[in-house]
Structures are given as C-alpha cells and as structure tokens.
Amino acid sequence: MKTTFYSNGKLLITGEYLVLDGAKAFALPTKFGQNLIVESGSNQQIQWKSFNVDGSIWFEDVISFHEIIHNVKTETETVKTTLINILHEAYLLNPDFVDNADGYKVTTELTFPKNWGLGTSSTLLNNIAQWIQIDAFTLLKNSFGGSGYDIACAQNNSPIIYHLENNLPIAEPINFHPDFIQNIYFVYLNKKQSSKRAINAYYNNKNSHLSKNIIDNNKITDAVIKAKTLKEFAHALENHEIHLSDILELQTIKEKLFPDFNGVIKSLGAWGGDFVMVVSKENPKAYFNSRGYETILSYDEMIFLK
C-alpha cells in the first residue's frame, strides 16, 4: 500500500524576522511543493530516498528504528542526522509509527529545484506530520524552530496573514488578487540563503524598539494587502524595505545589486538570497537576464490565483 502526502512551498512577503516576535506577516503559498510517499518496509528501518525536481537523487540512506528512538547523532551535522532528529521528535509525539510497524520505504519528490529556498524543510516537516498524524507546528518547534509561517503556507492554498499570539500560530486566509498581478514577478538570486543563520543575526541585532517596530510593520503589511493601485503597492513595499533595512542595519537588495532598476525590488524571507519580488510596469526579464539572473517567474507561475 502506498500513501502520498503533499505540502506547498512558501514566500514571505512582509514581516521578515519580526514575525518571530508576534508581528503580522503576509505570506504566499506557492504552486511548487513536495510530495512524500510512504510504503510498507521491513527490518525495523526506513529506506529513504529524496528526489530533486529533475529526477536526480539528492539524498539516499537507511535509518534504523533504533536511531529514531534514541536520536543517534554523529559529531557532524548531516542530512541524515537532521532527518533522524525530526523523526525522533515525531516519535516522541506519536510512537505508534515506529512501535507498530515493521519498516517503511519513504520517497520525497520536490516539484521545485532544491536550491530555490521555497521550503524543502517546511514541506518535509508538514508531510511527516501528516503521515505520523501529529501537529506540524509542534514538530517544527521541537526540531528546527522558527515562526511557523512556512508550515501555515504548506497547509493553505491561498494567501495568508500569519502571526503568533501567545506563541500559538494564527493563519488567516485572505483574498489577494489586485488588478496589477501581471506587474509582479519573482526573481531567483542564484544562491540559497540559510534561514537559521539569518534568524540568529536578527536576534543579535534586535534592539529596544521592538514594540514600535512591530506596530510599524503591521501598518505596512496592511497597506501592502489593501493597496488598490500599483503605485500604492510599490510604495508600501518600498517602505517595508527601508524599515527592515534600518532594523537589520543592512543595505536593501536594490541598493546592493540593482540600483539602476526602474521599479521596486523586495527581499523575501532571509535577506540576501533565494527569491526577490519585483514590481515593474514593464516585463523585467531582459534587465535581469542581462545581469546573469535566468530564473524569473510571473505571479501566476509561482502563486495560486484565487
């Protein structure tokens, strides 16, 4: 018997970093995601195989139930030790999947290139939670940590406003389909950014103005999702970039890489890598292609149109 689970990828449009402290974030689930296929196995072990979108295997190993139960680790962190840790935390939440099984064959299939940063980890966590019938937000908290907006995206097919309230995740699906959808693009910056490293940097730089920063962020987030015109939308995104640039004490991505671009460029998620959102009256493909950026997706190629 074969069972398949699926989760959506994610893009964080507003509320980067501040979402960790309760700010409202605007996030978009993506059409791209990850499958997890579970079959019966044997020998008290999991035969694990992970495929990239092009069909190549990027991880393959065998994990014993003993390793899962006891969270067996090596000195160096590897894909296998990370996976064992996730499965161990899942086991603590529901031991049945190990205690009442002979073994498994597990296959994962990304529908986007692994280096895109659309949520290889979050889609995996949510799929494992579905399989083992546990709460994905609890599994995230006990393994990787983070705000959980990416788990909320994994579980929703429409744009969401997400925040933590008393450390509990609140995801509100919203209708976001402005008239200027055709002016929104997503450009891959040719490098994957470490969310863990970026979060650590945020905490190290977090200052005493947190409450005001959250209030300002929430006002800007409201302006972004309620914008009626392209000009209003672009202005709100620019304000967000300036606001976060001041908090993080970092240049905006436009200042750093694209100062001559005629339009707005908004960092998404961990600043400095993965995708950026581009708002432009003209199709910006020629501009970015000429600078070595080949992956440019329109809004409707990336995001569910609802």
Q: What is the pLDDT of residue 195?
A: 61
Q: Answer for the pair 29, 224: CB distance below 8 angstroms, yes or no.
A: no
Q: Answer for the pair 35, 55: CB distance below 8 angstroms, yes or no.
A: no
pTM (2 decimals)?
Answer: 0.94
Q: What amino acid occupies position 273?
A: G
Q: Determine the Cα angle at 124 with ends 3 and 157, to 5°.
A: 80
In 3-state terms, what secondary structure has residue 214?
Answer: helix
pLDDT tens for 169-205 read 999 999 999 999 999 999 999 876 666 666 666 777 6
Which of 139, 39, 63, 45 is CA-nearest to residue 94? 139
Which residues pair with residue 275 across a beta bridge? 188
What is the C-alpha separation between 211 and 141, in angstroms, rounded? 23
What is the C-alpha separation between 111 and 99, in angstroms, rounded? 32
Q: What amino acid occupies position 87?
A: L
Q: What is the pLDDT of residue 1?
A: 86
Beta strands in the chain (DSSP E): 2-12, 25-40, 45-51, 57-64, 103-110, 160-165, 168-173, 184-188, 264-267, 275-279, 296-298
pLDDT tens for 104-139 read 999 999 999 999 999 999 999 999 999 999 999 999
What is the C-alpha separation between 153 and 159, in angstroms, rounded? 8
Residue 257 has pLDDT above 90, yes or no: yes
Q: Answer for the pair 164, 157: CB distance below 8 angstroms, yes or no.
A: no
DSSP 56: -
Residue 230 has pLDDT above 90, yes or no: yes
Q: Which residue has better confidence, 195 or 88?
A: 88
Which residue do the tokens 């945020």 mark?
202
Q: What is the length of the chain?
A: 306
Antiparallel, parallel or unpaired: β 103-110 and 45-51: parallel
Q: How far is CA 121 from the centre of its chain?
A: 8
Residue 152 has pLDDT above 70, yes or no: yes
For residues 282-295, give the mean pLDDT: 97
Residue 82 has pLDDT above 80, yes or no: yes
Percent of the chain beyond pLDDT 70? 94
Residue 73 has pLDDT above 90, yes or no: no
For residue 282, give Cα distances in angstroms to 60, 184, 261: 44, 10, 11
Domains for the chain: give ranges and CATH numbers: 2-173 (3.30.230.10), 181-302 (3.30.70.890)
pLDDT tens for 216-225 read 999 999 999 9
